[in-house]
Amino acid sequence: MKARLTRERIVEAALHIMDAEGLDAVSMRRVAREVGVEAMSLYHHVRDKEDLLDGVCAMVMCDFRYPDEDRPWIEVARDGAREWRRVLRDHPNVIALWAERQRPMTELEALMPMEFALRVITRAGMDQREGVLVFNVIGGYIMGVVMMEVGAMFSAGTARGGKTVDLSAVHAKLPDEGFAPFLPAEQLPCLVAALPHLAECDPDEQFEFGLDLLLAGIEARALTAS
């Protein structure tokens, strides 16, 4: 006898498939197979696929582990940002999910991390208005950087067919050999020069670098404002 079908089991299965096989692999039939059932049976527990994906989003948000807040706000903010990045990297496809289904979070639990972030920012001593600016700036930064990090979007490579330039091949090999000659250096000199550094750029250092810039700027503003 099988375990009873529940919304939670279904959403869990969908999330698992999304993490393991990508967003496109999440179909009603595939999820149903995962929980040992026919596709149409899922509709007793989720309204439609939209609803299922809403559940996936919420489940990802619930993965957020709240840092200890009994410290200076800037340390809490830094750890919160790192934790958000961890969540996004653990479920990178959720970014695409948000991007294509441009609709707000609606489940209460999914809003708790947002509440947390606003609470921390409030402690920095700036007014509500500026707090929202800060929230959006930090949130946007994390999302964008993680997106560039997990996607290969602007990674580096060698020329192919004379017309296009496949930058991804360079990542496969180690960077400090002579790859530059394969790129049209006369048209892309700076890109060619930056290639090795693009390839060996440490994502953690990258993330902290930008986070430091933002937090330092925010702290300076908070101090002068108060």
Angle at 44 between CA 38 and CA 49, to 5 degrees: 75
Residue whose token pair is 């079908």 = 5
Size of the site for DNA (CB under 7 A): 19
Distance CA 122, CA 155 (A): 37
Q: Which stretch binds DNA (CB under 7 A): 33-41, 102-110, 138-146, 193-201?
A: 33-41
H or E, element range at 87: helix 73-90
Max Cα separation, the chain? 68
Looking at 8, 21, 38, 200, which residue binds DNA (CB under 7 A)? 38
Which one of a second copy, DNA, none interacts with residue 128, CB within 5 to 8 A by kind? Answer: a second copy
Looking at 74, 148, 175, 182, which residue binds a second copy (CB under 8 A)? 148
* Side-chain half-sphere exposure of 106, counting CA atoms within 13 A: 8
CB atoms near residue 215 (< 10 Å) = 20
CB atoms near residue 11 (< 10 Å) = 22
Interface with a second copy, residue 96, by CB under 8 A:
yes
Looking at 8, 50, 115, 204, which residue binds a second copy (CB under 8 A)? 115
Residue whose CB is less far from a second copy, 133 or 223: 133
Q: Residue 13 Cβ, how far from DNA at the closest point, in Å?
A: 13
Q: Residue 39 Cβ, how far from DNA at the closest point, in Å?
A: 4
Distance CA 55, CA 46 (A): 9
Residue whose CB is less far from a second copy, 104 or 178: 104
Which one of DNA, a second copy, none interacts with residue 141, CB within 5 to 8 A by kind? Answer: a second copy
- Site residues (vs DNA, CB under 7 A): 4-5, 26-30, 32, 37-41, 43-45, 48-50
